[in-house]
Amino acid sequence: MATTEILETNKYLSFKLDNEIYAFDISQVREVLDYTEITKVPKMPAFVKGIINLRGGVVPVVDLRRKFDLPSSENTVNTCIIIMDITIDNEKTLIGALADSVQEVMTIEPDFIEPPPKIGTRLNTEFIRGMGKKNDKFIIIIDIDKVFSSGEAYMLQETKECRQFEDTSQEDMEKNNNENGDK
């Protein structure tokens, strides 16, 4: 759908996470913000850092390190939030992604993008749209829509269902709580 069209632009915003280069499709990127205070929202999966005030609006921020099971780190002056357009359950919304630093906007021709490797990556390949090759380096192109929706669908579904059966859900809720709590 939209994603295939987006691929045509060939432009990517690269960023660093734990000394590895990742990239987002530029057409989804709205802007890049300096790190700002994030307000935690209870009962959310741990990779959802919370929400920020974006010029009077509220935007959720995800911690990709957490999502990709990378070790967490202290914020630096380079830490930033990449604001992107995404679609959750057919609803368009904004989302922010924490990155160690932003690198550059680059062009990668489709010919230089390979499908995600089955093995040899620490990442869950579900979130990877492809591996871009640039100057003999591999760049991991992230599909942000999947980061938020599909991977966590199970989790959200569970949360949703436990709303339906309040009493039986107690355990599930507590499970969620524990996930949130163990930092």
Partner 1 sequence: MNETTNFNDIFRQEADELLFEIEEAVLEIEENPDDKEAINRIFRAVHTIKGSGGMLGFTRVAQFTHTLETVLDTLREGRLTVDKNLINLILRSRDHIKSILDSTSGVGEIDPDQEKILLTQLNDLIPLDDDKNAQYESGNGQEETLSKYSPKESIYRITFKPGKDIFRTGTDPGLLIEELKSFGDHNIILHYKNIPSIDVLIPDECYLSWDIILTTSQTADDIKDVFIFVEDNCELTIDIVDELIEGDDYKEVKKIGEILVERQVISEEDIKSTLNDQKRLGELLIEKNKVDYDTIETALAEQTQIKKTREKHREEIKASSLRVTSEKLDSLVDLVGELVTVQARLSQFSSVMDHSELLSIAEEVEKLTTELRDNTMDIRMMPIGTIFSKFKRLVRDLSSDLGKSINLLTEGAETELDKTVIDRLDDPLVHLIRNCIDHGIETPSVRKENGKQETGTIKLSAVHKGAYVVITIKDDGAGLNADAIKEKAIEKGIIQREAVLSEKQIYELIFTPGFSTATTVTNISGRGVGMDVVKRTIVSLRGSIELDSSPGQGTMITLKLPLTLAIINGLLVSIADTCYILPLATVEECVELTQENSDQSHGSNLLNVRGEIVPYIRLRDHLNIEGKRPNLEHIVITDVQDKRIGFVVDKVIGGHQTVIKALGPAFKYVREVSGATILGDGKIALILDVNALMLFKEH
Interacting residues toward partner 1 by CB under 8 A:
37, 39-44, 48, 51-53, 56-60, 88-89, 91, 93-95, 148, 156, 159-160, 163-167, 170, 177, 180-181, 183
Say whether 116 sits in a helix, a strand or coil: coil
**Shortest CB 183 distance to partner 1, Å:** 7
Would you say 19 or 72 has its CB closer to partner 1? Answer: 72
**Shortest CB 98 distance to partner 1, Å:** 15
Strand partners, 134: 137
**Shortest CB 138 distance to partner 1, Å:** 30
**Shortest CB 70 distance to partner 1, Å:** 21
Would you say 14 or 176 has its CB closer to partner 1? Answer: 176
Contact yes or no for 70/122 (Cβ under 8 A) = yes
Residue with tokens 């507590």: 174
Rounded Cα gap, residues 114 and 141, in angstroms = 10
How many CB atoms neighbour CB 22 within 10 A?
25
User: DSSP code of 117?
Assistant: P
How many CB atoms neighbour CB 140 within 10 A?
22
Would you say 78 or 157 has its CB closer to partner 1? Answer: 157
Whole-number Cα distances in Å, 8 to 87, 110, 151? 19, 8, 25
**Shortest CB 151 distance to partner 1, Å:** 13
Would you say 39 or 75 has its CB closer to partner 1? Answer: 39
